[in-house]
Amino acid sequence: MATQTQDASHGAADAAHAAADSAPGMPQLAFETFPNQIFWLLVTLVVIYLVLSRVALPRIGAILAERQGTITNDLAAAEDLKAKAVEAEEAYNKALADARAEAQRIAAETRAEIQVGLDEAIAKADAEIAAKAAESEKAIAEIRAGALESIQAVATDTAGELVTALGGKADAKAVAGAVQTRMKG
Amino acid sequence: MASDAHGADEGGLVFHPMDQFIVKPLFGGDTVAWYTPTNMTLWLGFAILAVIAILVLSTSKRAIVPGRGQSIAELAYGFIYKMVEDICGKEGVKFFPYIMTLFMFIVCANFLGMIPTAFTPTSHFAVTAVLALMVFITVTVLGFVKNGTAFLGLFWVSSAPLALRPVLAIIELISYFVRPVSHSIRLAGNVMAGHAVIKVFAGFAAIAVISPVSVLAITAMYGLEVLVSFIQAYVFTILTCVYLKDALHPSH
């Protein structure tokens, strides 16, 4: 097809295409240039291959590996720091719990001490109160006894006086016996 | 071709969409001997410089936190490395420099070819055919060296019914030998077609009424070609990996 059109254009515009006519319709099919193209292509490919395999690819690979290493290291460091933070938090919590327990222990001890003192004081106070009460009771008994005697005397006197006032003759002995009998009930 | 005749008919319009692909000696003269430095030599040299700039100069600082240039180099490296590893497996990694060479060369040649008035080496069948044949020969030799005659199992589809297998074997055999052809023509054809179409649109720009449309069309085609430049390099590379996988693990 290429050569056909080539012929056509030959006929149509000979002069105008004189330069282009030296090449076929498709320069891609100008076989006399093939050795040249292939030679320079192979040179190019060999040069690019050497540049890539000797310099570029190892370098880029090293850069990527180095970056990967850095990232991995940084991640490991971050992990470490995180673990440390968790540890620190645990230690803090432990210290807090310890302190709380200590405080509770101290409070309980103090409470027990106070209780002991309190008990002692209460016992002492009880004993004192008991002693005082006994004393008071004794005094009251004395007073009561004293009062009974006085009442008997007053009653005997009053009865004697009444008997006298009513015109009788007060027999002190009889009056005393009668009062005594009355008071016994 | 056809447009040549067309242009001649209209008189004012001159189309030379294929002239951009002509291989010319760089320093004058008419004959192109195998060693003559040509315009292709020049642009192949630019491709080498581009590869060095992208992968070597940009990484010279070896920064842990990459800059722009180094990011591009690392991206290219990671992109191809992952492709090779994913498709070919761990054993494929030793072919990584070879595949990276193919990819970087095609990408740089394609993109440099997008510069106006540039010459595009990858638009030539001679170039892409050599690339594809290198892959084909590597795969075939590697397949037999690594697997011995077991490599022929590639053509014997053991999962198919027994009666079908000979037929499939013939089809597989044909498709195997068509690989380098499709592999090379796909790349050169895409690049050449895009460049030629842009040139055709550019030819229309000579007519004042059509020129705005022409400029828009060139812009659109240029955008498409930028995509094609990358995608074709990607396709060439990934197919290379797929073929290489066949050599390393020939079982279906």
Please write the tens of the pLDDT for every residue from A130-173. Answer: 999 999 999 999 998 888 888 888 888 888 888 888 877 777 78
Say yes or no to pLDDT of A7 above 70: no
Would the pLDDT of B120 be above 50? yes
Pairwise pLDDT comparison (B102 vs A153), residue with the higher score: B102
Domains: count for chain A: 1
* Choice between B95 and B250, residue whose per-residue pLDDT is larger: B95
Binary contact (A56, B188; C-beta < 8 A):
no
Distance, in Å, from the CA atom of B122 to the CA atom of A44, rounded to the nearest integer, reads 13
Among candidate residues B199, B194, B197, B205, the one with its CA nearest the CA of residue B230:
B194
Query: Hey, which bits of A43-174 come out as E strands?
Result: none
- Distance CA(B151)–CA(A76), nearest Å, equals 47
Q: What pLDDT was estimated at residue B206?
A: 85
Work out the pLDDT band at B161, boundaries 50, 70, 90: confident
What's the length of chain A?
185
What's the mean pLDDT in B119-132? 94
Residue B226 has pLDDT above 90, yes or no: yes
Which of B19, B20, B23 is the best substitution to test chain A (most A C-beta atoms within 10 A)?
A: B23
Q: What does the alpha-carbon distance between residue B18 and residue B203 come to, in Å, rounded to a whole number?
A: 12
Question: Considering only CB atoms, which chain A residues are within 8 Å of B42?
Answer: none
Looking at residue B140, what is its pLDDT?
94
CB B111 within 8 A of CB B234: no
The tokens for A176 are: 């005393």
What value does the mean pLDDT take over residues A87-113? Answer: 96
Contact A40 B123 (CB under 8 A): no
Q: Which pLDDT belongs to residue A26?
A: 83
Domain assignment of residue A151, given as a range: 33-184
What's the pLDDT band for B156 if we cut at 50, 70, 90? confident
B3 pLDDT higher than 70: no
Where does the pLDDT of residue B213 fall: very low under 50, low under 70, confident under 90, or very high at 90 and above?
A: very high
Question: Are residues B91 and B143 in contact, defined by beta-carbon separation less than 8 angstroms?
Answer: no
Range A112-126 burial, b when 16+ CB lie within 10 A, else e: eeeeeeeeeeeeeee
In a domain, A102, yes or no: yes
Helices then strands (H, E): number in chain A? 4, 0
Q: With contact defined as beta carbons under 8 Å apart, do B127 and B121 qualify?
A: yes
Q: B34, A53: Cβ pair inside 8 Å?
A: no
Distance from CA of B4 to the nearest CA of A (A): 6
